[in-house]
Amino acid sequence: MKFVVGKEDLLNGIRIVERATVVKGLQPVLANVLIETVENNQIKLIATDFDLSITTIITAQVEEEGKFTLPAKKLGEIISRLQGELVKIELAGSTATITCNKSKFDIIGISANEFPQVEESISEEDSIEIESKPFVKAIREVVSAAAGYETNNLLSGVVCEVNKNILEMAATDGNRLARVREVIKNNSADSEKVFEMLISSKVLSELSKISLLAEAENMKICKEAKRIVITTDKTKIITRLMQGQFPKYNQLIPQTFPKEAVIDKFNLISALERVATMVNEKNSIVKFEFADGVLKLSGDSPEAGNSQDIIDIKYTGEPLTIAFNYKFVLEFLKIVESEEIAVKLNSPLSATVFAPCSDEDYIYLVMPVQLRG
């Protein structure tokens, strides 16, 4: 195998696929990227951890065909430090020689024969083609509300539905729920068909980063019974669909809220971070006391002491004291783009909705914590 490739093209390709590598796995080859020459002077980069596989194609000047695997992290480190526009990679035995201007590296790899087979082909019978930007935005707004990846249950997934030109995504870990609706361009052959999928939040999180790197305008999603293939430009993401019935999350959202506060996002972030310095990290509880025109935040820790802060808000309802895991609230505040936040309240033990004042189609529901005493 021998080829010459643009440094930035190769580096971008490595950064895209390395998200599917396994740094500390039972099979060392899973930490590698498979580099394979393909027709029309192109090379294909492939990485997989079995749950997630990513392939991308880049243009190169191929002199000798072949395929081989190299450690993704080390390869990325080398390429990022090279000074020059063109990189030459030549394979001899189990060693690949990388040259660029006066720099030369010999890097030991693993035979392509040990790399798992990645099946990229899939039926296009059940598929959609939509614009990427609102899809990626929706991922960013809901993915933090999913349960941790290690739980390996339905709540670690994100439910996605495309109905005509409306995309709806939702995630919940049982303590909070994020739901967003976006108007999108649906370029599917059958745009009237409802398309649904339940997909790992980890995969979607990686996809949002990949889409930013690829700067794709549109993406095509093809679905079979147990897996999907998401294609953006010359990149493919192959992953398993999660199986099971996701909770009927819309039934969890209260329909009315007798109390509502409007708060400057940046003031709330600053006050929460100050108060949190004295909060017990085991429960992360901060008390919110809403009163006429002000919000008092307070926290305490038996070992450290206590803290409080007061900020001006827009609120004219009856006084209300409610407590939250402050980390849930902070995660929402740091994601949302609006400068003003609406906090919609019922009672101290009822679900509270945080929402951007500028976007009524995005809600972040947080269950309060019961205060003792």
Which of 45-59, 84-98, 188-202, 286-300 is predicted least confidently?
188-202
Element (H, E) at 220: strand 218-223
pLDDT band per the 50, 70, 90 thresholds, residue 120: confident
> How high is the pLDDT of residue 230?
92
Please report where in the chains the tokens 């951007």 appear, as a residue: 356
In the chain, the amino acid numbered 134 is: P
One fold for 2-114 and 254-366: yes
Name the superfamily (CATH) of residues 254-366: DNA Polymerase III, subunit A, domain 2 (3.10.150.10)
> How high is the pLDDT of residue 302?
82
Element (H, E) at 297: strand 294-301
- In degrees and rounded to multiples of 5, residue 99 shows phi and psi of -130, 145
> How high is the pLDDT of residue 58?
96
Share above pLDDT 70 across residues of the chain, in percent, rounded to a whole number: 98
Is residue 100 a contact partner of residue 7, using CB atoms and an 8 Å limit?
A: yes
Average pLDDT for 11-34: 91
Average pLDDT for 111-119: 94
> How high is the pLDDT of residue 276?
94
Which of 46-60, 191-205, 256-270 is predicted least confidently?
191-205
**Tens of pLDDT, residues 362-372:** 999 999 998 87
pLDDT of 75 above 90: yes
**Tens of pLDDT, residues 150-163:** 656 899 999 999 99
pLDDT of 353 above 80: yes
> How high is the pLDDT of residue 208?
84
pLDDT of 123 above 90: no
Average pLDDT for 196-215: 83
pLDDT of 56 above 90: yes
Average pLDDT for 106-120: 94
Parse the chain into domains and list their residue ranges: 2-114, 127-250, 254-366
> How high is the pLDDT of residue 182?
93
DSSP bridge partners of 287: 298, 323
Mean pLDDT (the chain, rounded): 92
Distance CA 271, CA 117 (A): 52
> How high is the pLDDT of residue 221?
92
SS3 content of the chain, % helix, strand, coil (to 5): 25, 45, 30
Element (H, E) at 91: strand 86-92
Q: Give me the architecture of the 127-250 domain, per CATH.
A: Roll (3.10)
Burial class (CB in 10 A: 0-12, 13-18, 19+), 312: exposed
**Tens of pLDDT, residues 212-243:** 666 778 899 999 888 999 998 889 999 989 98
Name the superfamily (CATH) of residues 2-114: DNA Polymerase III, subunit A, domain 2 (3.10.150.10)
Higher local confidence (pLDDT), 224 or 25 = 224
> How high is the pLDDT of residue 212?
67
* pTM beyond 0.85, yes or no: yes
Is residue 334 a contact partner of residue 272, using CB atoms and an 8 Å limit?
A: no
pLDDT band per the 50, 70, 90 thresholds, residue 373: low
